Amino acid sequence: MKQVKETEKLLLFEEETGTTKKIYRQSKEDADAKKILIYSYVKNNIEYEFEGTTIKKIVVENSHEIPSFLGAFGYGFQEKSFNNYFKFNFTSAEIDKIVLSETKPSSKSGKSLILNYDDVESLLTSINQEQRACNDTKKILIKNLIVQAFPKINFDFQETNNNKDLILRNLNDKLIEKLTASEIQQIGDFYVKAARKFKAGHIIKKMTAGLLKNAQILTLHEIILKYEKLLKDNPAESEWQKFFDEYITLFDSRYVHKINYKNIATGLTKFPDLVLVDIYGYIDFYELKKSGTELIQYDKSHKTWYWSKDVSMVIAQASDYLQKAKENALSYSKAIKTETETETEEGLEVNIINPRAIIVIGTTSQLDTEKKKHHFKNLRESLKDIEFVLYDELLERLKNLLDTIKIDK
C-alpha cells in the first residue's frame, strides 16, 4: 500500500491486488492510523462505499473517474440533503445498492436503484436553485425589514420569489391542498394580470371560474375540518357561536347579511345567538346549544318520549323571539334599516312576516333506536316556524356541498 495524496486533514493510499485497485483514506488526527476504504476499481466499474441504513455501495458503471457529484474522499454524494435521503430513507433490505449510469434510464433492477447521470445532475441543479432562491429570499426579507423599520437608510424594498423555474416547479396539485382561499385569490389576481399581458380574455374567464371553484373547495374544506374538531371537543355554546358567526354565510348561500341584533331596540332582554337575512330579505333567528345537549327523555308512565328540559327551554326562548318579532314587525324593520345604514349605502330592507327560528343542537347519535328516531321526528315536525338542525346533520350537509362543487369542476 502506498501513499498517493495528502490534504490538510487526510492521507490517501492506494492498494493493488491483481486487477483490483483500492483507495483508502486516513485521518491525520487518527491516533490508531486507521485506514478506511473509499472505493475500489473493479473491472470497468468503480465500487464506492456508502454508509446507508441498507444501501452500502454505489457502483459507477463503465468509468475510471469519480463523478463530480460524489465526494472524492468518500462520505457519499456531495449534496447533503440528496445524500441523507439515500442514507436514511431506505430502511428495508429491498434496496442495497445504487448504480450510476450514463446510458441506462433511471429504474429499479433487483435490489439496485439505477440512477441516470443526467437525471441526477438535473435534480441537483433544481436543488441548488431552490437553495439559492431560499438564500436570496432570506437576504431580501432582511433588507425589507431594514427598509420598513429604518426608512432613512437608503435601501429599496424588493419583491421575493423572482425565480421563474422555482415557481413553476411548485405549481402542482399538492400545493392546492395547502393553499387558503385568500392565497388562491392572490394567485388568481396574478394570473389575470399575466393573462392581460397577452390580451387573452377567454383564458381570464376560464381561469376566473376555476379560481372561484377552487376557492369554494378550499374554504369548505377548512370549515369542515374546524367543524369536525368542534364536534369532537363538544365546546361551550360561545365557541359554536364564534364558528357560526364567522362561517355561516360562507357555507349557506341563502344568507347575505348578519345583523348585530344587540344594537337594535327590540325590547328583548335576551338576544338570539345569530340573526341572518336571506337573499329575499327574510329574517332567521339562530339559537346554538351544545352539541352534547340531551334531546329527548322517556316518560315511563305514558311510554313515550318528550323534549328534555334544555330543549324545552330553548324552544320557549325561540318562540319568544318569534312572537315579539311578529308583534313589532314594523318597528323592528325600521330599526334594522336605521342601524345598518351607512354614509354611502341605505340600510337593509327586511321582511319580518314569517320569521323562522333555527335551533342547532345535539347529534343523531342520541337517536340510537327506531322508536327514538320516530318520536324525535314527530316532536320536530310539531313545531311551527321552529326548525331543528342537529350538528352532525349539518356536517353531512357541508360534506355533500363540498362533493357537489368537486363534481361540478
Distance CA 88, CA 55 (A): 9
Residue 139 counted as domain residue: no
Q: Are residues 246 and 394 in the same domain?
A: yes
Nearest to 228 by CA among 242, 243, 245: 243
Length in residues, the chain: 409
Residues 40 and 13 in one domain: yes
* pLDDT for position 50: 96
| Low-confidence spans in the chain with pLDDT less than 50 | none
Domain identity same for 258 and 374: yes
Cell numbers given for 93: 433490505
Task: Give the domain range for residue 288.
Answer: 234-408
Whole-angstrom distance, CA of residue 321 vs CA of residue 283: 11
**Residues 209, 201 contacting (CB under 8 angstroms):** no
Domain contains 149:
no
- Same-domain check for residues 215 and 281: no
6, 36: one domain: yes
pTM of the predicted protein model: 0.51
Question: Do 394 and 301 reside in the same domain of the chain?
Answer: yes
Does residue 136 belong to any structural domain of this protein? no
Residues 7 and 28 sit within 8 Å (Cβ to Cβ): no
Same domain for 288 and 378? yes
Number of domains in the chain: 3
Q: How far apart are CA 29 and CA 260, in angstroms?
A: 76
Question: Looking at residue 214, what is its pLDDT?
Answer: 67
User: What tens digit of pLDDT does each residue of 61-85 get?
Assistant: 999 899 999 999 999 999 999 999 9
Q: Which residues contact 191 (CB under 8 A, 6 or more apart)?
A: 207, 211
Cβ–Cβ < 8 Å for 293, 359:
no
Q: Are residues 344 and 318 in the same domain?
A: yes
Q: In this predicted model, what pLDDT tens digit does every residue of 17-38 receive, in sequence order? A: 888 999 999 998 876 778 999 9
pLDDT at position 112 is 95
CA distances from 205 to 185, 191, 200, 253, 309 (A): 14, 11, 9, 23, 55
pLDDT at 151: 78
pLDDT at 265: 54
In a domain, 124, yes or no: no
Contact assessment for residue 52 and residue 38, using Cβ atoms and an 8 Å cutoff: no
258 lies in the same domain as 380:
yes
- Structural domain includes residue 243: yes
Q: Is residue 76 part of a domain?
A: yes
- Rounded Cα gap, residues 29 and 313, in angstroms: 83
